[in-house]
Amino acid sequence: HGWSEALAGIKSPHVKYICPHAPVMPVSLNMNMAMPSWFDIIGLSPDSREDEAGIKKAAENVKALIDQEVKNGIPSNRIILGGFSQGGALSLYTALTTHQKLAGVVALSCWLPLQASFPQGPISGVNKEIAVLQCHGDCDPLVPLTFGSLTVEKLKSMINPANITFRTYAGMMHSSCVEEMMDIKQFIDKHLPPV
């Protein structure tokens, strides 16, 4: 709900926002206590084992949301995926694996999951020219800025580097700020102009 409120502050009248809730599940990193999570998080280092089945299942759920919007009459190339932290990771992974051509991805304080599952070099899918806005705070204690930097380098090898914008925010932790919200608004307005 916090993100839907934040997005309401930057919403253009011709844009529809859908903010799905992650299901509640036990998370390994959280001592197996249940919390909202798109997939299990086993560790917070670049070489930690990843929940491949959970990530792929979550991506299928996002693809089903895209399919539903297409059935409702919104062309997929007028859809931007976005998310914060795990939601941003899921948005990036989904955009790079879906067969639906998308308008863009807003990836906030996140990383690209299952990096090793992508072939070296450019992807061949419909989203090899996708626009990406990747944002990260330089004081993030949970998902360190290095994760964001490693992710943007990997993305530049996979999709057109000219379409990737990487913004960092001084002093920002694992959160958001007004400047970041304005950058998101500018990105959405640019890639989803009124029809």
Reported pTM: 0.95
Give tens-digit pLDDT for 52-65.
Answer: 999 999 999 999 99
Dist. CA 183–CA 126, nearest whole Å: 25
- Is the distance from CB of 37 to CB of 28 less than 8 angstroms? no
| Of 111, 105, 127, 106, residue with least CA distance to 44 | 111
Q: What pLDDT is stored for residue 46 in this prediction?
A: 76
Which of 117, 149, 174, 175 is flagged as catalytic? 174
Q: Tell me what percent of the residues of the chain surpass a pLDDT of 70.
A: 99
Average of pLDDT values for 135-142? 97
Q: Is 85 a catalytic residue?
A: yes
Average of pLDDT values for 138-163? 96
Could you report how far apart the first and last alpha carbons of the chain are, in Å? 28
HEC profile for the chain? CHHHHHHHCCCCCCCCCCCCCCCEEEEHHHCCEEEECCCCECCCCCCCCECHHHHHHHHHHHHHHHHHHHHCCCCHHHCEEEEECHHHHHHHHHHHHCCCCCCEEEEECCCCCCHHHCCCCCCCCCCCCCEEEEEEECCCCCCCHHHHHHHHHHHHHHCCHHHEEEEEECCCCCCCCHHHHHHHHHHHHHHCCCC
Give tens-digit pLDDT for 21-37.
Answer: 899 999 999 999 999 99
- Domain locations along the chain: 51-191
Which of 91, 140, 176, 191 is flagged as catalytic? 140
- Checking if the pLDDT of 103 tops 90, the result is yes
Q: Which pair of tokens denotes residue 125? A: 């899918």
Dist. CA 156–CA 90, nearest whole Å: 18
Which of 37, 40, 85, 109 is flagged as catalytic? 85
Please list the residues that pair with 131 across neighbouring strands. Answer: 104
Q: In terms of pLDDT, which residue wins out, 124 or 87?
A: 87
User: Residue type for 188, please?
Assistant: I
Q: How many CB atoms lie within 10 A of CB 43?
A: 11
| Of 163, 179, 182, residue with least CA distance to 171 | 179
Angle between helices 86-97 and 52-71 (to 10 degrees): 70
Q: Is 140 a catalytic residue?
A: yes
The topology under which CATH files domain 51-191 is Rossmann fold (3.40.50)
